[in-house]
Amino acid sequence: MRNGVSLRPMKKTHPTPSTEGIDLRDVQRRLGSWYDEHARALPWREDVSAYHVLLSEIILQQTRVDQGMAYYHRFTERFPTVHDLAAASEDEVLLLWQGLGYYSRGRNLRRAAQIIVSDFGGEIPRTPEGLSRLPGVGPYTRGAILSFAYNLPYPTVDGNVFRVLSRLFGTTDPIDTTQGARIYWALAEALLDTAHPSRHNQAVIELGALCCTPRRPNCTECPIAPHCLAHRAGIEEELPIKQGKTKVLPRFMYYFLVRLPHASGGEGMLIRRRGAGDIWQGLYELPLIETGEVGITVEELTAHPAFCELLATLERPTFHPTPIATHAHRLSHRQIQATLFLLEAEGIRSTSPYLSIPTEERTAYAFPVLIERLLAKAK
Ligand code: ADE
Protein backbone atom coordinates (compact mmCIF):
# COMPACT_ATOMS: atom_id res chain seq x y z
CA MET A 1 0.00 0.00 0.00
CA ARG A 2 1.33 3.40 -0.97
CA ASN A 3 -0.75 6.58 -1.17
CA GLY A 4 -3.39 4.29 0.32
CA VAL A 5 -3.64 2.60 -3.06
CA SER A 6 -2.93 -0.96 -4.04
CA LEU A 7 -3.06 -2.51 -7.46
CA ARG A 8 -5.92 -4.92 -7.35
CA PRO A 9 -6.97 -7.60 -9.77
CA MET A 10 -9.60 -6.32 -12.14
CA LYS A 11 -12.70 -6.79 -10.09
CA LYS A 12 -14.72 -3.83 -8.99
CA THR A 13 -14.03 -3.41 -5.30
CA HIS A 14 -15.31 0.09 -4.73
CA PRO A 15 -17.80 2.40 -6.42
CA THR A 16 -16.49 4.23 -9.44
CA PRO A 17 -16.91 7.99 -9.18
CA SER A 18 -18.63 10.03 -11.87
CA THR A 19 -18.04 8.23 -15.18
CA GLU A 20 -21.76 8.43 -15.87
CA GLY A 21 -22.76 10.01 -19.13
CA ILE A 22 -19.41 9.33 -20.79
CA ASP A 23 -19.20 6.60 -23.43
CA LEU A 24 -16.11 4.83 -22.07
CA ARG A 25 -15.91 2.43 -25.03
CA ASP A 26 -15.76 5.33 -27.42
CA VAL A 27 -13.08 7.05 -25.34
CA GLN A 28 -11.03 3.82 -25.37
CA ARG A 29 -11.38 3.47 -29.14
CA ARG A 30 -10.41 7.07 -29.76
CA LEU A 31 -7.41 6.84 -27.44
CA GLY A 32 -6.22 3.62 -29.11
CA SER A 33 -6.45 4.97 -32.67
CA TRP A 34 -4.81 8.24 -31.69
CA TYR A 35 -1.94 6.35 -30.03
CA ASP A 36 -1.40 4.12 -33.06
CA GLU A 37 -0.94 7.23 -35.16
CA HIS A 38 0.87 9.61 -32.78
CA ALA A 39 2.93 7.57 -30.32
CA ARG A 40 6.57 8.62 -30.19
CA ALA A 41 9.06 5.94 -31.14
CA LEU A 42 10.72 5.67 -27.73
CA PRO A 43 13.42 3.04 -27.20
CA TRP A 44 11.59 1.22 -24.39
CA ARG A 45 8.58 0.91 -26.70
CA GLU A 46 10.64 -0.40 -29.59
CA ASP A 47 12.26 -3.21 -27.65
CA VAL A 48 9.72 -4.09 -24.97
CA SER A 49 10.69 -6.31 -22.06
CA ALA A 50 9.81 -6.14 -18.39
CA TYR A 51 13.45 -5.22 -17.63
CA HIS A 52 13.32 -2.34 -20.12
CA VAL A 53 10.02 -1.12 -18.67
CA LEU A 54 11.43 -1.31 -15.14
CA LEU A 55 14.54 0.63 -16.16
CA SER A 56 12.72 3.28 -18.18
CA GLU A 57 9.99 3.87 -15.63
CA ILE A 58 12.38 4.25 -12.70
CA ILE A 59 14.52 6.62 -14.77
CA LEU A 60 11.47 8.63 -15.92
CA GLN A 61 10.16 9.26 -12.41
CA GLN A 62 10.75 13.00 -11.87
CA THR A 63 12.66 13.17 -15.17
CA ARG A 64 11.68 14.45 -18.60
CA VAL A 65 11.65 11.94 -21.46
CA ASP A 66 14.34 13.80 -23.46
CA GLN A 67 16.69 13.83 -20.47
CA GLY A 68 15.83 10.27 -19.41
CA MET A 69 16.55 8.84 -22.85
CA ALA A 70 20.35 9.28 -22.60
CA TYR A 71 20.34 7.56 -19.21
CA TYR A 72 18.18 4.74 -20.53
CA HIS A 73 20.72 4.10 -23.31
CA ARG A 74 23.61 4.26 -20.84
CA PHE A 75 21.99 1.71 -18.55
CA THR A 76 20.92 -0.72 -21.25
CA GLU A 77 24.37 -0.58 -22.84
CA ARG A 78 26.27 -1.07 -19.59
CA PHE A 79 23.73 -3.50 -18.07
CA PRO A 80 22.03 -5.38 -20.94
CA THR A 81 20.29 -7.77 -18.54
CA VAL A 82 18.94 -7.65 -15.02
CA HIS A 83 21.78 -10.01 -14.04
CA ASP A 84 24.36 -7.43 -15.14
CA LEU A 85 22.67 -4.73 -13.09
CA ALA A 86 22.40 -7.00 -10.04
CA ALA A 87 26.15 -7.72 -10.23
CA ALA A 88 27.16 -4.02 -10.42
CA SER A 89 28.62 -2.12 -7.47
CA GLU A 90 26.57 0.69 -5.94
CA ASP A 91 29.33 3.14 -6.87
CA GLU A 92 29.10 2.17 -10.52
CA VAL A 93 25.32 2.54 -10.61
CA LEU A 94 25.48 5.92 -8.88
CA LEU A 95 28.16 7.12 -11.28
CA LEU A 96 25.94 6.19 -14.22
CA TRP A 97 23.01 7.87 -12.46
CA GLN A 98 24.96 11.07 -11.89
CA GLY A 99 23.00 14.18 -12.88
CA LEU A 100 19.54 12.59 -12.72
CA GLY A 101 18.91 13.47 -9.07
CA TYR A 102 16.82 11.54 -6.54
CA TYR A 103 19.65 9.03 -6.22
CA SER A 104 17.64 6.64 -4.07
CA ARG A 105 16.02 5.61 -7.38
CA GLY A 106 19.39 4.37 -8.62
CA ARG A 107 20.22 2.57 -5.39
CA ASN A 108 16.76 0.96 -5.28
CA LEU A 109 17.00 -0.07 -8.91
CA ARG A 110 20.16 -2.04 -8.21
CA ARG A 111 18.64 -3.62 -5.10
CA ALA A 112 15.49 -4.49 -7.05
CA ALA A 113 17.66 -6.21 -9.67
CA GLN A 114 19.40 -8.20 -6.93
CA ILE A 115 16.04 -9.35 -5.51
CA ILE A 116 14.78 -10.26 -9.01
CA VAL A 117 17.86 -12.44 -9.49
CA SER A 118 17.97 -13.96 -6.00
CA ASP A 119 14.23 -14.48 -5.37
CA PHE A 120 12.61 -14.60 -8.82
CA GLY A 121 15.20 -16.48 -10.89
CA GLY A 122 15.99 -13.35 -12.91
CA GLU A 123 12.41 -12.91 -14.15
CA ILE A 124 10.63 -9.68 -13.29
CA PRO A 125 7.48 -10.64 -11.34
CA ARG A 126 4.13 -10.77 -13.13
CA THR A 127 1.97 -10.04 -10.13
CA PRO A 128 1.36 -6.92 -8.02
CA GLU A 129 2.37 -8.89 -4.92
CA GLY A 130 5.70 -9.97 -6.46
CA LEU A 131 6.43 -6.46 -7.74
CA SER A 132 5.62 -5.01 -4.32
CA ARG A 133 8.71 -6.77 -2.98
CA LEU A 134 10.97 -4.64 -5.15
CA PRO A 135 12.30 -1.45 -3.54
CA GLY A 136 11.42 1.72 -5.42
CA VAL A 137 8.59 0.05 -7.34
CA GLY A 138 5.37 1.80 -6.32
CA PRO A 139 1.80 1.50 -7.65
CA TYR A 140 2.56 3.42 -10.86
CA THR A 141 5.59 1.32 -11.82
CA ARG A 142 3.78 -1.89 -10.86
CA GLY A 143 0.89 -1.01 -13.16
CA ALA A 144 3.31 0.03 -15.90
CA ILE A 145 5.24 -3.26 -15.79
CA LEU A 146 2.11 -5.43 -15.61
CA SER A 147 0.38 -3.63 -18.46
CA PHE A 148 3.15 -2.37 -20.78
CA ALA A 149 5.38 -5.43 -20.51
CA TYR A 150 2.94 -8.27 -19.79
CA ASN A 151 -0.22 -6.76 -21.30
CA LEU A 152 -2.15 -7.61 -18.13
CA PRO A 153 -5.33 -5.65 -17.32
CA TYR A 154 -4.08 -3.34 -14.59
CA PRO A 155 -4.47 0.44 -14.57
CA THR A 156 -1.63 2.81 -13.85
CA VAL A 157 -1.64 6.45 -12.84
CA ASP A 158 1.19 8.97 -13.07
CA GLY A 159 1.14 12.77 -13.30
CA ASN A 160 0.07 12.68 -16.95
CA VAL A 161 -2.76 10.28 -16.19
CA PHE A 162 -4.00 12.32 -13.21
CA ARG A 163 -4.31 15.30 -15.52
CA VAL A 164 -6.11 13.49 -18.34
CA LEU A 165 -8.56 11.81 -15.94
CA SER A 166 -9.25 14.95 -13.96
CA ARG A 167 -10.08 16.84 -17.14
CA LEU A 168 -11.97 14.09 -18.94
CA PHE A 169 -14.22 13.36 -15.97
CA GLY A 170 -14.23 16.94 -14.66
CA THR A 171 -12.98 15.66 -11.31
CA THR A 172 -12.02 18.37 -8.85
CA ASP A 173 -10.74 16.12 -6.06
CA PRO A 174 -7.14 17.09 -5.28
CA ILE A 175 -4.61 14.70 -6.81
CA ASP A 176 -2.14 15.02 -3.91
CA THR A 177 -4.30 13.50 -1.17
CA THR A 178 -4.86 9.86 -0.28
CA GLN A 179 -8.59 10.15 -0.91
CA GLY A 180 -8.02 11.92 -4.23
CA ALA A 181 -5.51 9.31 -5.39
CA ARG A 182 -8.04 6.57 -4.63
CA ILE A 183 -10.61 8.29 -6.82
CA TYR A 184 -8.23 8.69 -9.77
CA TRP A 185 -7.10 5.05 -9.54
CA ALA A 186 -10.76 4.01 -9.60
CA LEU A 187 -11.36 6.20 -12.66
CA ALA A 188 -8.31 4.72 -14.39
CA GLU A 189 -9.63 1.24 -13.65
CA ALA A 190 -13.08 2.13 -15.01
CA LEU A 191 -11.60 3.59 -18.19
CA LEU A 192 -9.09 0.78 -18.81
CA ASP A 193 -9.46 -1.04 -22.11
CA THR A 194 -8.99 -4.53 -20.68
CA ALA A 195 -8.58 -6.00 -24.18
CA HIS A 196 -5.54 -3.76 -24.88
CA PRO A 197 -4.11 -2.70 -21.52
CA SER A 198 -0.59 -1.98 -22.80
CA ARG A 199 -1.71 0.25 -25.64
CA HIS A 200 -4.42 1.89 -23.56
CA ASN A 201 -2.26 2.87 -20.57
CA GLN A 202 0.51 4.16 -22.80
CA ALA A 203 -2.05 6.09 -24.84
CA VAL A 204 -3.31 7.95 -21.77
CA ILE A 205 0.27 8.78 -20.70
CA GLU A 206 1.15 9.88 -24.24
CA LEU A 207 -1.95 12.04 -24.52
CA GLY A 208 -0.96 13.75 -21.26
CA ALA A 209 2.59 14.27 -22.52
CA LEU A 210 1.80 15.50 -26.06
CA CYS A 211 -1.70 16.94 -26.10
CA CYS A 212 -3.35 17.25 -22.68
CA THR A 213 -0.41 19.29 -21.36
CA PRO A 214 -0.44 21.20 -18.07
CA ARG A 215 -0.48 24.60 -19.81
CA ARG A 216 -2.25 25.39 -23.10
CA PRO A 217 -3.59 21.90 -23.82
CA ASN A 218 -4.14 21.28 -27.51
CA CYS A 219 -7.85 20.49 -27.32
CA THR A 220 -8.41 21.01 -31.04
CA GLU A 221 -6.17 18.00 -31.78
CA CYS A 222 -7.37 15.94 -28.82
CA PRO A 223 -9.16 12.73 -29.80
CA ILE A 224 -11.27 12.67 -26.65
CA ALA A 225 -12.16 16.38 -26.49
CA PRO A 226 -15.79 15.63 -27.52
CA HIS A 227 -16.15 13.66 -24.26
CA CYS A 228 -14.07 15.92 -22.03
CA LEU A 229 -16.10 17.57 -19.28
CA ALA A 230 -13.40 20.12 -18.45
CA HIS A 231 -13.22 21.13 -22.10
CA ARG A 232 -16.97 21.51 -22.30
CA ALA A 233 -16.89 23.74 -19.24
CA GLY A 234 -13.81 25.64 -20.48
CA ILE A 235 -11.87 24.84 -17.30
CA GLU A 236 -9.21 22.48 -18.67
CA GLU A 237 -6.33 24.69 -17.54
CA GLU A 238 -7.70 24.82 -14.00
CA LEU A 239 -7.51 21.04 -13.59
CA PRO A 240 -6.14 19.02 -11.94
CA ILE A 241 -6.38 20.58 -8.52
CA LYS A 242 -3.64 20.23 -5.94
CA GLN A 243 -4.42 20.70 -2.29
CA GLY A 244 -1.25 22.26 -1.08
CA LYS A 245 2.14 23.26 -2.22
CA THR A 246 4.96 21.73 -0.19
CA LYS A 247 6.80 24.25 1.91
CA VAL A 248 10.35 24.80 0.72
CA LEU A 249 12.81 25.55 3.51
CA PRO A 250 16.32 26.96 3.07
CA ARG A 251 19.37 24.84 3.85
CA PHE A 252 22.83 26.42 4.05
CA MET A 253 25.86 24.36 3.03
CA TYR A 254 29.51 25.49 3.17
CA TYR A 255 31.89 23.32 1.16
CA PHE A 256 35.67 23.31 1.11
CA LEU A 257 37.86 22.53 -1.84
CA VAL A 258 40.90 21.27 0.06
CA ARG A 259 43.90 21.32 -2.29
CA LEU A 260 47.00 19.48 -1.20
CA PRO A 261 49.83 17.45 -2.72
CA HIS A 262 48.82 13.86 -3.50
CA ALA A 263 51.05 10.85 -2.88
CA SER A 264 50.93 10.11 -6.64
CA GLY A 265 52.97 13.28 -7.23
CA GLY A 266 50.22 15.52 -8.62
CA GLU A 267 47.62 17.70 -6.97
CA GLY A 268 45.04 16.14 -4.67
CA MET A 269 41.71 17.03 -3.12
CA LEU A 270 39.69 15.71 -0.19
CA ILE A 271 36.37 13.92 -0.53
CA ARG A 272 34.22 11.56 1.50
CA ARG A 273 31.24 9.29 0.91
CA ARG A 274 27.91 10.46 2.30
CA GLY A 275 26.24 8.14 4.77
CA ALA A 276 22.64 7.01 5.21
CA GLY A 277 19.73 9.05 6.49
CA ASP A 278 19.92 12.14 4.30
CA ILE A 279 19.94 13.30 0.70
CA TRP A 280 22.64 11.99 -1.67
CA GLN A 281 23.29 8.81 0.30
CA GLY A 282 26.27 6.93 -1.15
CA LEU A 283 27.46 9.84 -3.30
CA TYR A 284 30.78 11.59 -2.71
CA GLU A 285 31.15 15.14 -1.47
CA LEU A 286 33.72 17.72 -0.40
CA PRO A 287 34.29 18.54 3.27
CA LEU A 288 31.10 20.24 4.37
CA ILE A 289 29.73 22.34 7.21
CA GLU A 290 25.98 22.76 7.39
CA THR A 291 24.15 25.38 9.42
CA GLY A 292 20.56 24.34 8.77
CA GLU A 293 18.03 26.99 7.84
CA VAL A 294 20.21 29.94 8.84
CA GLY A 295 23.25 31.26 7.00
CA ILE A 296 26.38 32.46 8.81
CA THR A 297 29.19 34.94 8.13
CA VAL A 298 32.75 33.89 7.28
CA GLU A 299 33.80 34.95 10.80
CA GLU A 300 31.15 32.70 12.31
CA LEU A 301 32.19 29.91 9.96
CA THR A 302 35.85 30.08 11.03
CA ALA A 303 34.75 29.93 14.67
CA HIS A 304 32.50 26.91 14.03
CA PRO A 305 33.61 23.72 15.87
CA ALA A 306 33.32 21.72 12.63
CA PHE A 307 35.70 24.15 10.93
CA CYS A 308 38.26 23.69 13.72
CA GLU A 309 37.85 19.89 13.38
CA LEU A 310 38.44 20.12 9.63
CA LEU A 311 41.61 22.20 10.10
CA ALA A 312 42.82 19.72 12.71
CA THR A 313 42.83 16.93 10.08
CA LEU A 314 45.21 18.94 7.85
CA GLU A 315 48.94 19.71 7.86
CA ARG A 316 49.66 23.47 7.73
CA PRO A 317 46.27 24.60 6.38
CA THR A 318 45.70 28.01 4.76
CA PHE A 319 42.08 29.16 4.56
CA HIS A 320 41.04 31.65 1.86
CA PRO A 321 38.05 33.57 3.25
CA THR A 322 36.65 34.80 -0.08
CA PRO A 323 34.23 32.22 -1.56
CA ILE A 324 35.41 30.76 -4.86
CA ALA A 325 31.85 29.85 -5.94
CA THR A 326 28.24 30.01 -4.79
CA HIS A 327 25.27 28.11 -6.13
CA ALA A 328 21.56 27.91 -5.33
CA HIS A 329 20.09 24.45 -5.81
CA ARG A 330 16.42 23.55 -5.51
CA LEU A 331 15.33 20.14 -4.23
CA SER A 332 11.66 19.20 -3.77
CA HIS A 333 11.52 20.43 -0.15
CA ARG A 334 14.69 22.46 0.17
CA GLN A 335 16.31 25.51 -1.33
CA ILE A 336 20.02 24.89 -0.84
CA GLN A 337 22.36 27.87 -0.66
CA ALA A 338 25.85 26.50 -1.21
CA THR A 339 29.15 28.31 -0.86
CA LEU A 340 32.56 26.92 -1.80
CA PHE A 341 35.77 28.01 -0.09
CA LEU A 342 39.37 27.14 -0.91
CA LEU A 343 41.58 25.56 1.74
CA GLU A 344 45.17 24.76 0.89
CA ALA A 345 47.21 22.32 2.94
CA GLU A 346 50.50 20.49 2.80
CA GLY A 347 49.08 17.14 3.84
CA ILE A 348 46.41 15.19 5.65
CA ARG A 349 46.72 13.60 9.09
CA SER A 350 46.22 9.86 9.41
CA THR A 351 43.18 10.37 11.67
CA SER A 352 41.31 12.24 8.95
CA PRO A 353 37.90 10.88 7.90
CA TYR A 354 38.53 12.19 4.38
CA LEU A 355 39.90 10.45 1.33
CA SER A 356 42.67 12.20 -0.58
CA ILE A 357 42.29 11.59 -4.31
CA PRO A 358 44.26 12.85 -7.31
CA THR A 359 42.28 15.83 -8.60
CA GLU A 360 42.42 14.44 -12.14
CA GLU A 361 40.53 11.32 -10.97
CA ARG A 362 37.56 13.32 -9.70
CA THR A 363 35.29 12.11 -12.51
CA ALA A 364 35.61 8.52 -11.27
CA TYR A 365 33.46 9.48 -8.26
CA ALA A 366 29.73 10.25 -8.32
CA PHE A 367 29.07 13.70 -6.85
CA PRO A 368 25.71 15.46 -6.52
CA VAL A 369 25.12 17.90 -9.36
CA LEU A 370 25.35 20.74 -6.84
CA ILE A 371 29.03 19.97 -6.24
CA GLU A 372 29.73 19.61 -9.96
CA ARG A 373 28.20 23.06 -10.48
CA LEU A 374 30.21 24.60 -7.66
CA LEU A 375 33.46 23.13 -8.99
CA ALA A 376 32.63 24.25 -12.53
CA LYS A 377 32.04 27.80 -11.27
CA ALA A 378 35.12 27.87 -8.99
CA LYS A 379 37.41 30.80 -9.71
N1 ADE B 1 6.63 9.11 -18.70
C2 ADE B 1 6.70 8.15 -17.79
N3 ADE B 1 6.69 6.95 -18.34
C4 ADE B 1 6.61 7.14 -19.67
C5 ADE B 1 6.59 6.30 -20.79
N6 ADE B 1 6.64 4.99 -20.64
N7 ADE B 1 6.52 6.85 -22.00
C8 ADE B 1 6.47 8.18 -22.12
N9 ADE B 1 6.49 9.03 -21.14
C10 ADE B 1 6.57 8.53 -19.90
The predicted pLDDT at position 19 comes to 84
Top mutation candidate among 148, 164, 205 for ligand 1, by most atoms within 8 Å of CB: 205
Give me the amino acid identity at 171. T
The predicted pLDDT at position 17 comes to 66
Q: What's the 145 CA to ligand 1 centre distance in angstroms? A: 12
Top mutation candidate among 48, 57, 59 for ligand 1, by most atoms within 8 Å of CB: 57
Name residues contacting ligand 1 (CB within 6 A): 42, 56-57, 60, 65, 158, 205, 209
The predicted pLDDT at position 72 comes to 98
pLDDT (tens, 9 = 90+) of the chain, 379 residues, equals 334 444 444 444 444 567 888 999 999 999 999 999 999 999 999 999 999 999 999 999 989 999 999 999 999 999 999 999 999 999 999 999 999 989 999 999 999 999 999 999 999 999 999 999 999 999 999 999 999 999 999 999 999 999 999 999 999 999 999 999 999 999 999 999 999 999 999 999 999 999 999 999 999 999 999 999 999 989 999 999 999 877 899 999 999 999 999 999 999 999 999 999 899 999 999 999 999 999 999 999 999 999 999 999 999 999 999 999 999 999 888 999 999 999 999 999 988 899 999 999 999 999 999 999 999 999 7
The predicted pLDDT at position 2 comes to 39
The predicted pLDDT at position 12 comes to 44
Q: What's the 66 CA to ligand 1 centre distance in angstroms? A: 11
Top mutation candidate among 38, 65, 142 for ligand 1, by most atoms within 8 Å of CB: 65
The predicted pLDDT at position 16 comes to 53
3-state secondary structure the chain: CECCECCCCCCCCCCCCCCCCCCHHHHHHHHHHHHHHHCCCCHHHHCCCHHHHHHHHHHHCCCCHHHHHHHHHHHHHHCCCHHHHHCCCHHHHHHHHCCCCCCHHHHHHHHHHHHHHHHHCCCCCCCHHHHCCCCCCCHHHHHHHHHHHCCCCCCCCCHHHHHHHHHHCCCCCCCCCHHHHHHHHHHHHHHCCCCCHHHHHHHHHHHHHHCCCCCCCCHHHCCCHHHCHHHHHCCHHHCCCCCCCCCCEEEEEEEEEEEEECCCCCEEEEEEECCCCCCCCCCEECCEEECCCCCCCHHHHHCCHHHHHHHHCEECCEEEEEEEEEEEEECCCEEEEEEEEEEECCEECCCCCCEEEEHHHHHHCCCCHHHHHHHHHCC
Q: What's the 296 CA to ligand 1 centre distance in angstroms? A: 43
User: Which residue in the list 20, 37, 46, 57 is annotated as catalytic?
Assistant: 57
Confidence (pTM)? 0.81
Q: What's the 196 CA to ligand 1 centre distance in angstroms? A: 17
The predicted pLDDT at position 244 comes to 81
Residue with CA nearest ligand 1 atom 1: 60
Q: Is 57 a catalytic residue?
A: yes
